[in-house]
Amino acid sequence: MGQVDPAFWNGRRVLVTGHTGFKGSWATLWLSAMGAEVTGISLPPDTWPSLYELAGVEEACDSRTVDVRDWDELQSEIAVIQPEIVLHLAAQALVRQSYLDPLTTFGTNVMGTANVIEAARSEPGVKAILVVTTDKVYETAEVARPFTEGDPLGGHDPYSASKAAAEIVVASYRRSFLGERLPLMTVRSGNVIGGGDFAADRLVPDIWRAARGGEPLVLRYPQATRPWQHVLDCLAGTFLYVQSVLGGRSVPMALNFGPDAGAAGEATVADLTAAMQAAVGATEGWVQEQGDFPREMGRRLLDSGRARDALGWRDRYDTAEAIGLTAEWYRAMDAGEDMRAVTCAQIAAYA
């Protein structure tokens, strides 16, 4: 199995966009723990609480407030930072919000991605650019099998469409400007869970909020099946991808990172809810949301065979273990523990 190599990252200048978000905060802390010189550019956290503030992520990087839609400021900052590796995680990542504010969603996810690539490709020290998208880049027709990287891209809602468009932007830059000179990859991951996610309309934060407030949990699609994955497994794949590419291995330029098909990767929303409620000590149960809300696919799974074959990567945690670690994090927060220490301890245990 491929391993994340701290020696590879030690001393590397790594730019993480979206470092104030859930996944970006975990990435920044892990990279810093491996000795990377991390610079983060992002807007301020958009939730309270936030993992960024609870875990003191600002202390682990050179943090800069930059909107990826602002070309002039972004270009100027990247010229000063002079990164070797760019991990582009900044995004408007919520489906419902994309319906409420489609222009911001398209501006951030499409033009923001183009801006980051354009600014980075002009810097001679940049050796690799990796763009994080989503499993929702695949056309939303119901299929009876997990999606593979060769399936058509598309998207019904503005979020999915914007991420599919970002994939097209990446492919265009690769073919038009970069070729083999500068690796430009995309990572397509599924429903990532872990401690410190407080976003609206995401299942785990909704479970935590309902439990803490003593309110009933409301679910939109309780029987929907999703590829649940712990954030550390997803990031391990991302880091290993960069290591492999810069190590000279021939690997595809777009890879799925999701759990294996089968019991560990096919939990329904209702199943994960019951397990998470039990793990955090909440009253089990939920109510079905009524009214009109955006349509979502009933079953969405990823085929990660290419990542396993090309990188030797696979999830270390199954769904039950991912839920347990996630619940452990929220219980520690509710108990008033040092969340920088708790988060870093989970990273160290994984690494």
| Residue 17, pLDDT score | 98
| Residue 295, pLDDT score | 65
Classify domain 6-196+229-258+301-317+339-350 at the CATH superfamily level. NAD(P)-binding Rossmann-like Domain (3.40.50.720)
Residues contacting 77, CB < 8 A, separation 6+: 41, 64, 66
Q: Where are the chain's structural domains?
A: 6-196+229-258+301-317+339-350
Q: Put the strands of the sheet holding 37-42 in their side by side order.
A: 62-65, 37-42, 13-17, 85-88, 128-132, 184-189, 254-257
- Preceding omega of 205 cis (within 30 degrees of 0): no
| 204 closest CA partner among 299, 90, 302, 322 | 322
Q: Please give the helix or strand (H or E) that residue 131 lies within, else none.
A: strand 128-132
pLDDT beneath 70, residues of the chain: 1, 141-142, 261-266, 292-297
How far is 111 from 114, CA to CA, in rounded Å?
5
**Single-letter amino acid, residue 112:** G
Q: Please give the helix or strand (H or E) that residue 163 lies within, else none.
A: helix 158-173
Neighbours of 344 (CB within 10 A): 18
| 90 closest CA partner among 124, 71, 113, 107 | 113
Neighbours of 93 (CB within 10 A): 22
Residues contacting 136, CB < 8 A, separation 6+: 95, 155, 159, 160, 163, 164, 300
How far is 13 from 25, CA to CA, in rounded Å?
17
What pTM was estimated for this model as a whole? 0.96
C-alpha to C-alpha distances, 126 to 5, 78, 87, 117, 189, nearest whole angstrom = 20, 10, 11, 10, 24
**Gyration radius from the chain CA atoms:** 19
Per-residue model confidence as pLDDT tens digits over 169-200: 999 999 999 887 899 999 999 899 999 999 99
With 0-12 / 13-18 / 19 or more C-beta atoms within 10 angstroms meaning exposed / middle / buried, residue 19 is buried
